[in-house]
Chains A and B, each alone.
Chain A
Amino acid sequence: MTAGGRWRRLGARLLRYWRRFERGHELLLVSRWRQGLRKEARRRDDTLRTLLLLESLGVDNPVAYETLDAVPYLVADFHAWHRRMGRDEFGDAGVCC
């Protein structure tokens, strides 16, 4: 076997190890971190949804008019959410469908 071939094989092996390490790292740490991040994003979205649909909760919303064109997207977001959760219909026509 030539010296060049040995190096290539060693290189391929190291790469495999690296990939395996990366997968483990991903499983152990990154995915958890990502979950945390996603949760943070959801929390912020929930806050926004609440603020924009305040009047549905019976609270006055001072900017209701200014945010009218955001409403369809919020309801669509919500629709996507309850379907992800496995409910084709939300069951309250006042909120979604």
Chain B
Amino acid sequence: MIRFFGGKGGVGKTTLAAAFAVRQARRGVRTLVVSTDPAHSLGDVLGESLSDEPRSVGESLLAAEISGERQASNRVAEVLEDARHAVPREVLPAVERHLRRAVDSPGTVESALLDRLTDLVERTGRDWDLLVVDSAPTGHMLRLLSLPALLTPWIEGLAHNRKQARDVDRFADGLLGEVGPQNDPLLERLQNRRRRLEALQSRLREDARVHLVLVPERLPLAETERAADQLAEAGVSLGAVLVNRVASGDESGVLARRRTQERAVLARVRERFGGEETGVLTVPLLPGELTGVADLAEASGWLQSLDPPGPREA
């Protein structure tokens, strides 16, 4: 089970993702909450210092903050280590230079982040049962979720090209009678990458829900509607839409005036998302900020309707 929390910057996705994760962990669901935002704040919300590797922050609750840069440099080190055994020693410096250049390519950080997330998705159902992703602002999350669909055909094309070259070569060899079984490590690696991306893509389609988070204002609403369209295109299912910081209605002055605007936005949200199975959930404006697991657990009652079937009910 994978749940993404996404939305415009500053709407409170990190707090809601953390509260949801804390709630599920208290229900006995082994949960990992992970932040993919380059400007991490999950650690601040939980009141814990987090790193790339999931660590326990409570009963049944793990948390981590992952980074594309770090994953990319780990991967370069890994590839270099493999290369030491596979290619002539004198080309290693050139290999390293090519790798560094590739890592500086635009898009690499996102691909690397997706790669790290793939590791965590693969461990979901084994090391933990629920993966809660506090993602970066909308555009970033959409790109992350549509990357597999973008990259797969490209790699497919490269693998196809390589395979044909090898087939033609082997056919030419066959005419001389020098056929032998040949493993092409390059082709193997391309196909491994493709398989990994495809597995991620199908897992995201079957097992993931995205909760779009917004505050009852016009700009976040517009962005939420666009995001919903693009997610549908990417084949990722929507979960309930969360409207955060809804005022209670008994305010006066500035807040009372804002209340009218809020009502219009809420009506539109209900019109667009309320009818479907996804639903809309409103979370009230709380008097103070939530910090730490205990605070979050207290407030997480608001998220009850998001509960997946827990281990006790299942």
Which residues does A use to contact B, with CB under 8 Å?
30, 33-34, 37-38, 40-42, 44-45, 47-48, 51-53, 55-56, 60-76, 78-79, 93-97
Interface pair B115/A65, CB less than 8 Å apart: yes
Is B190's CB under 8 angstroms from A67's CB?
yes
Contact: A55 with B76, CB < 8 Å?
Answer: no
B164 contacts A by Cβ under 8 Å:
yes
Considering the chains assembled together, what is the distance between the CA atoms of A40 and B105 in angstroms?
Answer: 30
How many A-B pairs have beta carbons closer than 8 Å: the answer is 143
Q: Contact: B95 with A63, CB < 8 Å?
A: no
4 residue pairs, one from A and one from B, having the closest CB atoms: A72-B83, A65-B111, A44-B165, A64-B105
Q: How far is the CA of A37 from the CA of B99 in the complex (A)?
A: 32
Q: Could you tell me the distance between the alpha carbons of A45 and B187 in the complex, rounded to whole angstroms? A: 12
Return the contact of A63 from the options B88, B101, B151 (Cβ within 8 A). B151
Q: How far does the Cβ of A57 sit from chain B's closest Cβ, in whole Å?
A: 10
Does B232 have its Cβ within 8 Å of any Cβ on chain A?
Answer: no
Q: Is the CB of B75 within 8 A of A68?
A: yes
Contacts A37-B171, A63-B158, A94-B97 supplied; 12 other A-B pairs, CB < 8 Å: A33-B175, A34-B176, A37-B172, A48-B161, A52-B158, A65-B108, A68-B79, A72-B87, A74-B98, A79-B90, A93-B94, A97-B94
Main secondary structure of the interface of B (DSSP, over half): helix
Alpha-carbon gap, A75 to B244, bound state (A): 53
Q: Which residues of chain B have C-beta atoms less than 8 A from A75's C-beta?
A: 87, 91, 94-95, 98
Given contacts A63-B111, A63-B155, A79-B88, contact A97 B93 (CB under 8 A): yes
Shortest A43–chain B CB gap in Å is 8
CA–CA, A56 to B98, complex, Å?
7
Interface of chain B residues 116 through 165 with chain A (CB within 8 A)? 150-151, 154-155, 158, 161-162, 164-165
- Residue A38 contacts which of B95, B97, B111, B169 (CB distance < 8 angstroms)? B169
Cβ of B306 < 8 Å from any Cβ of A? Answer: no
- 30 A-B pairs with CB atoms under 8 Å apart are A34-B176, A37-B171, A38-B168, A41-B165, A44-B168, A45-B162, A48-B158, A48-B162, A51-B161, A56-B101, A60-B105, A62-B150, A65-B75, A65-B102, A65-B103, A65-B112, A66-B193, A67-B158, A68-B79, A69-B193, A70-B190, A71-B98, A73-B189, A74-B186, A75-B95, A79-B90, A95-B94, A97-B90, A97-B91, A97-B94
